[in-house]
Structure 1
Amino acid sequence: MVTDAERAAADLARARLERLAQPFLEREGVSWGRMFSTDGLGIRGKIFAVVPHDGGLMVKVPEARADELVADGAVERMVMRGRELREWVVMPDAASDAEWSALLAEAHAYVDSITP
């Protein structure tokens, strides 16, 4: 169950994502979409970034890159129903806008490359 503090963190993170999303929304094929009961950024219908229900920025990157980011301590693996997701990682709210933007760019490039 999501606490009030987690809900407040998620609200702030969603507002931050909306602000940082503007340059991506100017790109062809990028739009808002739904995933995990929340809005996220997608390209040609495939989501590449979303804010989890407890805050942070969750993105899809190649598994090897996810491994690197986790090893560096920059992100944590997304865990759903007790299972780590191979390509989904969560960057904390404490990360800078520049770090969030860089991760958004990586996620966009990856999902763009694998989405017909």
Structure 2
Amino acid sequence: MPDPQREVARRRGHEIFDPIVEPLLAEPDVDVGRMFGSEGVRIRGKVFAFLGFDGTLMAKLPSARIDALVAAGIAQRMVMKGRPLREWIEVGIDRGSAWPEIVRDAYAFLDEITP
């Protein structure tokens, strides 16, 4: 994706993502931190959702939830260095209406498993 297109997509991603994240920042132990060169939202230092460079939502979820989202055509598994990550998904801007529930699920998942 050329840089001007990437920047437009990234801005659009933030238009969707930022209002979802804002109320979560009022929760205990939730803040903003870096993940793969992007800012993400984290709980107790562990990132549970962030935007990719192209405005795509990346979220950490249990494998069963990921399987359901992939099967429904809402998300795809995040791939790093040619290898799909077990607990990370990518959700495009075109599926922005699904982002609030996915981010809340990612928050709940990390809250549960992070000491």
Q: Same fold (TM over 0.5)?
A: yes
One-letter identity of the residue aligned with 1:110:
F
In the alignment, structure 1 segments of 5+ residues that lack a partner are: none
How far apart, in 2, do the equivalents of 1:48 and 1:111 lie? 6
| Aligned counterpart, 1:104 | 103
Q: Give 1:13 shift.
A: 0.9
One-letter identity of the residue aligned with 2:106:
A
SS in structure 2 opposite 1:54? Answer: coil
How far apart, in 1, do the equivalents of 2:49 and 2:25 lie? 12
Cα RMSD of the aligned pairs, angstroms, is: 1.3
TM-score, normalised relative to structure 2: 0.91
One-letter identity of the residue aligned with 1:42:
R
Q: Which runs of 4+ in 1 moved over 3 A?
A: none
Q: Give 1:85 shift.
A: 0.7
How far apart, in 1, do the equivalents of 2:96 and 2:14 lie? 15
SS in structure 2 opposite 1:113? Answer: helix
1:1-116 equivalent positions in 2, closer than 5 A: 3-4=2-3, 5-97=5-97, 99-116=98-115
- Number of residue pairs matched by the alignment: 114
Percent of aligned positions that are identical: 40
Residues 38-83 of structure 1, C-alpha deviations (whole Å, 9 max, x = no match): 1000001000000011222110000121111111111011111111
